[in-house]
Amino acid sequence: MSAEWDRARSLEAFLDDLHRHRGIGQEHLPRYRALVESFLAGAQDLDERAVDRFVANCAAQGRSDKQCKAAATAAGAFVAFAHRGGLVPAEPILPPPPLLPPPPLVGPPDPAFSGPLAAPPLADLSPAASSSFGPALTIDPAALDDTPRRSEEPHALAPPPPNLNPPALPTQPAEADNLEGDLRRVISGEGIAFALAVSAPLLLGFMGGTFFLLSRVLHYAALAATFFAMLEHVAAGRPGLPGAMSENLAGNFFRGLAVIVVAVLPPLVTFMRLDGPLALALVIPMSLVGIALMPAAALACQANQSALAAFMPHLWFRIIDALRRDYAVIVAVFMALMIVQSVGAWMLMWILQMPVIASLLEAPFSCLCTFAMATSLGGVARRGLGGLG
């Protein structure tokens, strides 16, 4: 692979792209350089399988989950950079130019040179000197002209060297690296298939009794697992959506529950601690505060792989301070998607006038809105925090 593209210059181009176009600070670039160099040292191909092998090797060496996630983020970002055509081709090795023969000697040699390689003296071609050998020689002056004729060129020009530049790596269509591209990931056949799969446990609720509660628990566990899987996938810079949801359903269920508790806690405490018109006046502002804390709580949970991290305010403030304007944008996206989710459910109920069918259609629609929250939050984490490492 080193004969096809210049590894050193490609790595420099990748780091420059991270800093200029991805918003990665200079202080994070040495860490990215070390991880990508380690990844390239053992990578045969630039694809997701190579990234998975690299992460598995890091885990086998006893590195922590946080270090493995950082390795996955750096390697995945470089693979995505390569698929976008960012690799720098290697310099072609051209053949040496052909050696031309020395020009012929014209005229008598320099008398000052008397070495062993001195040319022999020219014969005396005067009539007196040639009388003893025969008739005098007649020399055409044009024969002494050493200018090559067009048809007598000593050497033809060497043919141009073949094109030694390697063909570019096959590129695959990548999403635009912005908020719109993050949201478009969900509007696909893959996203709809995920939404239907996550909504399938709700069918158990039609059996009534205990199955109704069980169906809701399984649905929200699958939804939380898919949310955090998509969040991690997009934050690592990988294209599309993840191939499967996380297997840790219980852990992701409690992480999702912790994020919801963070959102509900401000208005709930306000309503319980205050009475009268003041409590009612503050419920809506406190609800907006709770929604504004949801992205920070979700990022804290995923980065630390713990539901308890959602309740650590110092992690919220660190995330908000690092993202700043991007955090305000993602909060606005969360609020807009919640409004779309609520209005869509109400419209389905009002148009169909069939609660059962409306609930079956509302669940996948709500899942798509939740997936859009995950992909948009993952994109902001990738561009503003350098991933979840």
- What HEC string does 244-275 produce? CCCCCHHHHHHHHHHHHHHHHHHHHHHHHHCC
- 144 inside domain: no
- 338 inside domain: yes
Reply yes or no on whether the pLDDT at 47 is more than 50. Answer: yes
Q: What is the pLDDT of residues 125-142, one digit of tens each?
A: 454 444 444 444 444 444
β-pair partners for 5: 89
Amino acid occupying residue 76: G
pTM, entire model? 0.57
Number of structural domains (the chain) is 2
Average pLDDT over residues 273-297: 88
Reply yes or no on whether the pLDDT at 143 is more than 50. Answer: no
pLDDT of res. 151: 46
Looking at the structure, tell me whether residues 189 and 40 fall in a common domain. Answer: no
Cα separation values, 274 from 117, 264, 269, 277, Å: 114, 16, 8, 9
- Asked which of 37, 65, 83 is the last residue of a domain, the reply is 83
- 118 inside domain: no
Residues 6+ positions from 6 with CB-CB distance below 8 Å: 87, 88, 89, 90, 91
What average pLDDT is seen over the chain? Answer: 77
Average pLDDT over residues 168-175: 46
Residue bearing tokens 């909504």: 199
- 166 inside domain: no
Cα separation values, 167 from 5, 173, 281, 345, 365, Å: 10, 17, 65, 51, 43
Reply yes or no on whether the pLDDT at 213 is more than 70. Answer: yes
12 is in which domain, residue-wise? Answer: 7-83
Looking at the structure, tell me whether residues 66 and 187 fall in a common domain. Answer: no
Residues 6+ positions from 248 with CB-CB distance below 8 Å: 225
SS3 184: helix
- Asked which of 83, 98, 129 is the last residue of a domain, the reply is 83
Looking at the structure, tell me whether residues 184 and 66 fall in a common domain. Answer: no
- 334 inside domain: yes
- 108 inside domain: no
pLDDT of res. 258: 93
- Asked which of 83, 116, 138 is the last residue of a domain, the reply is 83
- 346 inside domain: yes
Looking at the structure, tell me whether residues 78 and 183 fall in a common domain. Answer: no
- 248 inside domain: yes
Looking at the structure, tell me whether residues 189 and 69 fall in a common domain. Answer: no
Q: How many CB atoms lie within 10 A of CB 71?
A: 25
Helix (H) / strand (E) containing 238:
none
What DSSP letter does each residue of 276-304 carry, written as one string? HHHHHHHHHHHHHHHHHHHHHHHHHHHHH
Percent pLDDT > 70 in the chain is: 74
Looking at the structure, tell me whether residues 64 and 205 fall in a common domain. Answer: no
